Structure 1
Amino acid sequence: MVPTISYGDWSSHCGGGLTVKISVAAFLGESAENFDVDTIAARYRDAIDQALPPNVSLCGDEFYGPHYEMDQHFENHPKTDQGALDIATIITKVDLAEIARQHKKTSL
């Protein structure tokens, strides 16, 4: 089993919002009542998990990945100037607007 460590929490990578759901609600703003915020947050979380390297995951509101550099296979993923996985850039590449559009409530 590969030992893992925290790569930081949601708020340290997204630039705002303490949780994924709070970030989604903030993104939607006053129109949030017209959307299924819970479903959008779940789909956004899934899309971020898909965009992360296979050995890194978003668990709750914390990112976890391999502790040892030899287990960190981050090829083809953005890195910071210090060489760490750039989770913030990965998050920004996920199209939250498109996910939200797919889960707008329809009036009857």
Structure 2
Amino acid sequence: MTTTTDYGTWCNHGDSYNVSVEATILDAINGGDSEWQKRMETSGALDRIASDYRDAIDNALPEGVHLVGNDFIGPFYPDDYTWDGELDISEIIEGIDLFAIIQRHDVDNDSAPLAVGDKVSVSPDSLPEGWSSTGEVEDVTNETVVVLLDDGHRQEVPDSEVTRALRDA
């Protein structure tokens, strides 16, 4: 078993002005319209952005080094290092495009792919009569989307029959 140690916090390596990944994301969208910010929050987009950003950071870090909460943890002994030379966590983070991740989950980006948690409308033609036509995406495959409808029904429909819910909903 590898002995680990703390390599520092998000403030040390990621963003000296914010204590967490989530606070950095909020700062990044802070210049946007307040209604848009509210839609980003209520749609779950901010949670998906944070999850994707954290995954991107973890995937970019060398094997054995991880972002755990707001701390970077990795091997204590040099014999356990999986990298050569000095480890520059800040440089690794700078190589990740947070704004591309935000764009991918932007509630106003109609071309963004549907994701789990998106609020959507389903064509009534794809549903049994009397079922709700709005709900939340539970799963996305290459050609279909599984939606948990607001009335509790679950339905798999072709992705062409699903659109994001109205922005002011």
Higher radius of gyration, 1 or 2: 2
User: 1: distance between equivalents of 2:71 and 2:28?
Assistant: 20
TM score, norm. by length of structure 2: 0.56
The answer as to 2:107 corresponding to 1:98 is no
User: RMSD across aligned C-alpha pairs, in angstroms?
Assistant: 1.6
Q: Which runs of 4+ in 1 moved over 3 A?
A: none
User: 2: distance between equivalents of 1:93 and 1:40?
Assistant: 16
User: 2: distance between equivalents of 1:38 and 1:26?
Assistant: 14
User: Counterpart in 2 of 1:52?
Assistant: 61
Q: Larger % of strand: which?
A: 2
The answer as to 2:86 corresponding to 1:84 is yes
User: 1: distance between equivalents of 2:86 and 2:6?
Assistant: 13
User: Counterpart in 2 of 1:18?
Assistant: 19
User: Counterpart in 1 of 2:124?
Assistant: none
Q: Which runs of 5+ in 1 are unaligned?
A: 76-82
Q: Which amino acid aligns with 1:38?
A: D
Q: Larger % of helix: which?
A: 1
2:79 to 42, 47, 70: 70
Higher relative contact order (CA 8 A, sep 6+): 1
Percent sequence identity over aligned pairs: 38
* CA apart distance, 1:42: 1.1
- Give secondary structure in 1 for the equivalent of 2:7: strand
Q: Which amino acid aligns with 1:18?
A: V
